[in-house]
Structures are given as C-alpha cells and as structure tokens.
Amino acid sequence: MNGDVVIGGHVAFTCLQISQIRACFHQVSENGEKISSLMNSTVGEYFEAGEIIYNAIYDFPVKNLNYKTVAEATGLSPVQVSNALKVYKHFKDNPKLIDNLTMKDAISFICGKDKADGKPDKPKIVYNEPSQLEFDWEQEFLKPTISKLELQSVRFENPDNLSFWILHRGSNHPVKYCEFYADPPKDPVLKIEHDNMMKEIQASLEKYFKAKEDQEGMTCQG
C-alpha cells in the first residue's frame, strides 16, 4: 500500500506513519524468531546438562540421591538440576523434537511448569525406572496412608490396580512389592468391589509395616 491511508474521507495515517508501523512489526517478527530460536537452544542446553548428570549418577553407589543432593554438591540450583533431568528424560529417545518446540512449550520446559495451567510439575512416578532423581521423594511421605497409620519408613502405591510398589524413605525410586495376575473386572459393581479389595490389601500392607516399625525402631527394609 502506497500513500496516505484515508478513512471516511479523512487521512488517518500518513505514508510515513504506515512505514514506521510496518517497520515496528517487521522487527517484532524478527525478534520473535530470534527468541524462539534462543528458547529451543536453551532447552537443548538443559538436555545436554541433564544427560551428563543422569549418566554420571545413574549407577552411583550412594542410593539416596535426589536433585537437591546433586544441586548442593555441584553448586547448581535445585531447579536447574530437576529441570535438566526432566528435559533429558523427556527427549532422550528423540532429541530432534527439541528443534520443533513451540515457544510456549520451550518456556514450560525451561521453567519447569505444566503446559496447561502454569503450575509447577507434580512428581510423575515411572514405576519401572530405577532412578528418578528429579523428584523430591520426601514429599510422598507427607501424604496420608490408606490405613491412616503414621508410617515413617515406607509408602505404598497401587498405580494400575494390579501391583503394589513400595518406596523406602531415602530412596529415589519405588520398587515392585507384589503383583496380581488378574485383570480388573469390567462389570461396574465388581469393579467397585475390586477397588475396595485393593485398598484393603494396601491398608493391610501398611499395618504390617507399621508393626515392623514398632518392633524394629523404623529399621524395616522389606
């Protein structure tokens, strides 16, 4: 478009003003591309840092590590260590996906926020993974038990309504404790009874370990 912009017979914008406005938005577009590239590059740096951290401590002989321990030892911030490990684990099977992240998603990985609501990530337990240092497992012990007993040394989880996993205090991942080789029923009435049965089993496990704690002074190890 050349010349002044006329609306209703009046000059709304001069040719010079239109040129200035277009120059501003051209710069905005260029800046957006630069920012997007920087965001993706930053996620890539988090990935590389996470890979180094993960490989260095995957089979480390000290088994009570978590991201806070590593941060304190390395002089990094806990947020940096946690986010680096999360980024590495998320993209380790296909790191090229980092290049195609939207700016919003890149920022969410850098800031450690949930993409949907902007709230901090909650621990997402991967039950078959041996080392999950990015989470503060001590938080699991703030949750009440099914039995309402005050267990100090362990927590149980029933993620699939078939298996029970135990988390020992000081450990950085749960281990499978027992498993039922039967599919949950599809009938809604039976499903309710099945769910109640699993809760009762978990409560019984908690009562057993509470008894062990009382006898052994919180030294139970499974």
Per-residue pLDDT of the chain (222 residues; tens, 9 = 90+): 567 778 888 878 888 878 888 888 888 888 888 888 888 889 999 999 999 988 887 777 776 677 888 888 888 888 888 888 889 988 988 889 898 888 888 888 887 664 444 454 544 556 666 667 777 777 788 889 999 999 988 999 888 888 898 888 877 778 889 988 877 888 888 989 988 999 999 999 999 999 998 888 655 555
Scanning 8-128, the segments in alpha helix (DSSP H) are: 15-57, 67-74, 78-91, 103-111
Give CA separation, 81 vs 20, 43, 78, 127, 172, in Å: 45, 13, 5, 21, 15
Whether residues 114 and 15 fall in one domain: yes
For residue 75 the two structure tokens come to: 């002089």
Whether residues 19 and 119 fall in one domain: yes
Residue 98 sits in which domain range?
5-128
222 belongs to a structural domain: no
For residue 145 the two structure tokens come to: 């038990």
Whether residues 123 and 147 fall in one domain: no
46 belongs to a structural domain: yes
57 belongs to a structural domain: yes
Whether residues 107 and 152 fall in one domain: no
202 belongs to a structural domain: yes
- SS3 label, residue 176: strand
Classify residue 121 by its DSSP letter. P
Share of the chain above pLDDT 70, in %: 85
Whether residues 29 and 54 fall in one domain: yes
221 belongs to a structural domain: no
pTM above 0.85, yes or no: no
Element of type H or E holding 201: helix 188-216
Counting the structural domains of the chain, the total is 2
